[in-house]
């Protein structure tokens, strides 16, 4: 069950982009937006709406595509006062792990498994491209699941 909507930040000056176009596509994304908006050590942040575009090759579709990471955030380290930029992707944990082969050999189970494999392969391609992009830009790429956002 997916939940989406418009996010209205309390600290509008921290948001990089149009504050009227902030859209969350899950309650987990909304939780992360809230965190970025409220924490003092998050200096600036943005959502997909104003984020970098990362080209990647999608092995499932067999073509070049563009990846828009869910959140960019600039964090100030309290001890040193230095800054670090992060790209953060929000995904269900099951999409970050290789799918298990189905126990039942029904058509429905096999089709679900193939869909999960395709999603996993696409995600791996996106995240590999994101890690390379971040390395070039001296940024850190993170994947948050429901485990980090509770």
The predicted structure's pLDDT at residue 147: 93
The predicted structure's pLDDT at residue 2: 59
Which one is catalytic: 37, 89, 91, 126?
91
The predicted structure's pLDDT at residue 14: 97
8 A C-beta contact, residue 118 and residue 60: yes
Which one is catalytic: 37, 48, 70, 89?
70
Q: Please provide residue 128's backbone torsions phi and psi, each rounded to the nearest 5 degrees.
A: -65, -45
The predicted structure's pLDDT at residue 65: 98
Q: Is 14 a catalytic residue?
A: no
The strand pair at 23-24 and 5-6 is best described as antiparallel
Rg, the chain, Cα only: 17
Helix (H, G, I), strand (E, B) or coil at 116: helix
The predicted structure's pLDDT at residue 149: 87
Model's pTM, two decimal places? 0.91
The predicted structure's pLDDT at residue 1: 45
pLDDT tens digits, 2-31: 589 999 999 999 999 999 999 999 999 999
Q: Is 38 a catalytic residue?
A: no
Which one is catalytic: 14, 29, 37, 89?
29
Measured on CA atoms in the order 91, 94, 98, 101, is the torsion positive or negative? negative
pLDDT tens digits, 70-108: 999 999 998 898 999 999 999 999 999 999 999 989 999
Q: Is 85 a catalytic residue?
A: no
Q: pLDDT confidence of 69, banded at 50, 70, 90?
A: very high
8 A C-beta contact, residue 72 and residue 86: yes
CB-based contacts of 130: which residues, under 8 Å, 6+ apart? 54, 56, 67, 69, 87, 89, 141
């Amino acid at each position: 069950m997916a939940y989406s909507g418009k996010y209205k930040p309390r600290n509008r000056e921290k948001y990089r982009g149009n504050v009227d176009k902030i859209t969350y596509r899950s309650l987990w994304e909304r939780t992360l937006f809230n965190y970025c908006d409220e924490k003092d050590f998050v200096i600036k942040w943005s959502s997909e709406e104003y984020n970098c575009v990362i080209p990647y090759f999608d092995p499932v579709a067999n073509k070049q595509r563009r990846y828009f990471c869910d959140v960019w955030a600039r964090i100030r380290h309290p001890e040193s006062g230095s800054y670090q930029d992060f790209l953060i992707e929000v995904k269900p944990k099951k999409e970050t792990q290789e799918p298990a082969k189905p126990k039942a050999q029904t058509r429905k189970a096999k089709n679900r498994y193939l869909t999960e494999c395709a999603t996993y392969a696409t995600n791996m391609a996106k995240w590999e491209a994101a890690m390379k992009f971040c390395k070039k830009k001296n940024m850190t790429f993170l994947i948050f699941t429901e485990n980090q956002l509770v």
